[in-house]
Structure formats: C-alpha cells, structure tokens
C-alpha cells in the first residue's frame, strides 16, 4: 500500500540530468584511473618514478666550438646558477682522471689491452650502492661501475657474433683487471673489480676518494672544471628548466627525460581530468541530494500522516533509500560498462599504434569508481535519514 504514496512521482527530465551528469563523472574518474595505471606501467623507468630524478648535463660539442676552442667545461659560476634554480635540488660535477690509464684483462685465453678513462661522482648520485664500493688503498683494489648498456652491448651485440660466452654481472665481478696508472713521473699497478652496472650514469665510475687520491699523486695539473654535471631534480622536465638548458646550449641525456616529459604531461592531463571529474561528481552529488529532498518535501503531508499512524522514520527513510540506491546503482553499473568498452577499444587502438599495454582492467579503476559510488550512497543515505528524522520531530 505504501508504494502508492512513496517515494512519489518525480520530474523525469531532472532525474535524467542528474543521472547523466553523475554517469559522466564516474566514468571519467574510472577511465582516467585506468589510463593512468596503463601508462604508468608503460612509462615507469626503473626506480625513478615519482621520486627524485637525475639527469646528466654537458655542453654541446659542435664544429664551431672545436674551431674556436671555446670552453666545453662548466665554471663555478655556471654551476652555482644551476644549483639555485628552484627545480634543482643538487648538482655535482663529474671528476675526470688527470693521469694516464691503461688496463689489461686475461679473458677467454687472450690478454686484452685498452686505454681507459675514469670518472667519479659523489655516492649520493648513484642508483646502485654495491657493498664493496670502497677503495682499498692497502690491497690497491679499485671498484668500478660500468654503464648497464655496456653489458647489454657485449651480451647481445658483440658476444654472439664473436662466438664468445654471454656474461652475467656476477661472472664479471669475479674477473680482475690490471690497471696501470702513470703520471707525474710515477707509475703503479692496481687491481680493478667491476662491482656493478648503472642505468643512470653512462660512464666508467670509480669511487670519488680514489679519484682524488690518484689525481693528487699521479698528476701535477690543477683540478680542471668539470665537463659534465649530474643534476638531481624533482621534475627535470619542468619547462622553465628546459628553457634554461636550451638558452645555455646545454645537452641532456635523453631517454630518461623523454619518459619524464611524458609522465609530467600525463600527470597534468590526469590532474585536469580528475579536477573536472571532481567538479562533476560534486555537482551530481548535490543534484542527487536535492532530488531526493525534493521528493521528500513533495510528500511532506503524507509523511507526517504516516508518522501519526505510527510508522517509524526508519521505515519512511528506507522507502527513499531503496529508490536512491536504485538510481545510483544504475549509474554505477553503466559507468563500469563504459570503462570496459573504452578499455576494450582503446587497448586495441594502442596495440595498433605499437604500444604494449597491459590490456586488462585495472583494479584501481574499479576501486576508484566504487569509492565514489560509496560516497554518493553514504552522503545520500545520511541526508535522507536526516531530513525524514527532522520531519518526524517537528
């Protein structure tokens, strides 16, 4: 019998607008969460995502520079200007060797010789911290970090063609190099151990304290200005920073930065989308609340009589709650469907464009939609109880 009275008739158009608005809002949130996690898996490079990032900077080398013999090193002034940029947290110069350096290694039955160079940066700039990264002055053992690319180049480029075995980092760390250093009229033979491979820094690295020791002892030259810098920044793709680098004619290492740029672009787009959806959700929440209040107010006379007949406010509220759950539930299910549809077609399209995306629904996307649905329901239910209770008291 009660269904003849409650929740009562409502304006169809108004309901459609509220439902459509919240459908758009919910779908946007879920789809953008989905895309965010799709791209995040795709773009994340090593451990750098969302943390401090490092870039190496050098001056451009071109014909003109070489002819004019203009400086390709960074002066103290240039370094401190860079250090004072708001986007920059720390800057350090690469320290190069000022002595002659020769290495030999017994490898696959052959003695290989090579001229070599070393560079050093403070330990805090390294992406790996091998446990034997200590220069042992007594035994004369120098730990060395190589670029991860070298190992890949050897394993996948050089070794197969030469019929040589592929190597793992563990195997390499067991080999000992002979390192011959001379300069300032002195000469000494050290041992070298490769202790790790760096993704971040494309150079042959030794501990800074060894470099300082060797430069002091095997060179008469003064410490030159660094030609490469390593820069720690929260957001190296920041446009202002980019512009500055460009104006100064600095060059940056690339791959990391491309991803970083895409990430910050993604972050901006996502923030805008989330902001928009937040507004839409807030509007549709108010829409829903207003709508259910309107329904209740239209039936104020009837609801009062039902209270006089002995009905509880919980009973009255439940009639509105069921209706409210039904319309928000429909919106949630439709939004979920739109997520699946978009994911299906978008995943296809991206695969055609050559992106290897995980073409599955992200749990986070469903969760974000469900969380908003829960907020919608809880707020609406709370308001319905509040309004019906107020009627019962008056």
Partner 1 sequence: MNIRIDALVPSFLEGKIPTGNLWAKQIALDDTGYFLINANSGKGKSTLLSYLFGVRKDYQGTIHFNNKNLREFNIDDWADWRSKKISMVFQELKLFPQLTALQNVLMKNELTKHFSLEQTRELFSRLGILEFLDIPCNRLSLGQQQRVAIIRALHQSFECILLDEPFSHLDVENASIAFNLIMEQCKAQNAMMILSSLGSNHGFNFTETFNLAS
- Run of H or E including 160: helix 159-162
- For residue 392, the minimal CB distance to partner 1 (Å) is 4
Is-contact 236 55, C-beta < 8 A?
yes
Binders of partner 1 in range 370-389 (CB under 8 A): 389
Within 13 Å, how many C-alpha atoms sit on residue 197's CB side?
A: 14
Is 309 a binding residue for partner 1 by CB under 8 A? The answer is yes
Is 307 a binding residue for partner 1 by CB under 8 A? The answer is yes
- For residue 313, the minimal CB distance to partner 1 (Å) is 6
Is 305 a binding residue for partner 1 by CB under 8 A? The answer is yes
Among 26, 148, 229, 306, binds partner 1 (CB under 8 A): 306
The region of 67-75, 130-138, 203-211, 298-306 touching partner 1 under the rule CB under 8 A is 298-306
Is 189 a binding residue for partner 1 by CB under 8 A? The answer is no
Cross-sheet strand order for the sheet of 228-233 = 88-93, 228-233, 53-59, 250-252
- Judged by beta carbon, residue 9 or residue 12, the one nearer partner 1 is 9
Among 161, 165, 185, 310, binds partner 1 (CB under 8 A): 310
Is-contact 132 184, C-beta < 8 A?
no
- Judged by beta carbon, residue 6 or residue 88, the one nearer partner 1 is 6
Is 83 a binding residue for partner 1 by CB under 8 A? The answer is no
Provide the token pair at 276. 């928009």
- Judged by beta carbon, residue 258 or residue 304, the one nearer partner 1 is 304
- Report CA-CA distances (Å) from 137 to 73, 188, 205, 209: 30, 12, 17, 10
Provide the token pair at 340. 């699946």
Provide the token pair at 235. 């957001």
- What DSSP character marks residue 158? I
The region of 217-225, 254-262, 303-311, 341-349 touching partner 1 under the rule CB under 8 A is 303-311
Cross-sheet strand order for the sheet of 100-107 = 110-115, 100-107, 176-183, 186-198, 141-147
Is 308 a binding residue for partner 1 by CB under 8 A? The answer is yes
Residue count, binding to partner 1 (CB under 8 A): 18
- d(CA 123, CA 353) in angstroms, rounded, equals 41
Q: Could you tell me which of 309, 267, 276 has the C-alpha nearest to residue 29?
A: 276
Is 9 a binding residue for partner 1 by CB under 8 A? The answer is no
Tell me which residues touch partner 1 (CB under 8 A).
1-2, 4-5, 302, 304-313, 389, 392-393
């Amino acid at each position: 019998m009660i269904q003849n009275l409650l929740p009562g008739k409502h304006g169809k158009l108004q309901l459609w607008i509220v439902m459509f608005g919240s459908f758009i809002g919910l779908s946007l949130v879920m789809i953008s969460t989905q895309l965010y996690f799709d791209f995040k898996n795709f773009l994340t490079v090593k451990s750098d995502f969302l943390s401090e990032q490092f870039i190496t900077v050098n001056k451009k080398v071109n014909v003109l520079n070489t002819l004019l013999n203009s400086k390709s090193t960074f002066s103290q002034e240039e370094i401190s200007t860079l250090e004072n940029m708001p986007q920059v947290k720390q800057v350090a110069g690469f320290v190069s060797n000022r002595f002659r350096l020769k290495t030999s290694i017994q490898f696959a039955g052959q003695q290989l010789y090579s001229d070599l160079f070393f560079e050093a940066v403070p330990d805090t700039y390294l992406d790996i911290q091998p446990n034997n990264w200590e220069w042992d002055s007594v035994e004369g053992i120098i730990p060395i970090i190589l670029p991860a690319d070298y190992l890949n180049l050897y394993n996948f480029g050089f070794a197969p063609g030469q019929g040589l075995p592929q190597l793992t980092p563990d195997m390499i760390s067991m080999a000992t190099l002979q390192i011959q250093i001379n300069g300032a009229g002195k000469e000494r033979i050290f041992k070298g151990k490769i202790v790790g491979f760096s993704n971040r820094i494309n150079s042959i690295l030794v501990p800074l304290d060894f470099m300082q020791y060797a430069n002091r002892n095997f060179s008469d030259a003064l410490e030159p200005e660094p030609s490469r810098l390593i820069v720690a920044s929260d957001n190296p793709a920041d446009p202002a920073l980019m512009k500055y680098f460009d104006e100064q004619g600095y060059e940056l290492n690339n791959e990391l930065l491309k991803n970083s740029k895409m990430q910050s672009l993604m972050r901006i787009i996502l923030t805008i989308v989330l902001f928009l959806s937040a507004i839409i959700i807030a509007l549709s929440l108010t829409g829903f609340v207003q709508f259910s209040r309107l329904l209740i107010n239209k039936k104020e006379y009837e609801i009062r009589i039902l209270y006089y007949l002995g009905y509880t406010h919980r009973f009255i509220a439940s009639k509105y709650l069921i209706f409210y759950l039904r319309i928000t539930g429909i919106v949630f299910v439709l939004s979920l469907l739109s997520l699946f549809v978009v994911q299906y077609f978008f995943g296809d399209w991206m695969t055609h464009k050559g992106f290897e995306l995980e073409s599955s629904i992200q749990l986070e996307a469903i969760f974000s939609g469900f969380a908003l649905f829960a907020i919608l329901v809880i707020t609406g239910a709370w308001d319905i109880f509040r309004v019906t209770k107020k009627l019962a008291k008056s």
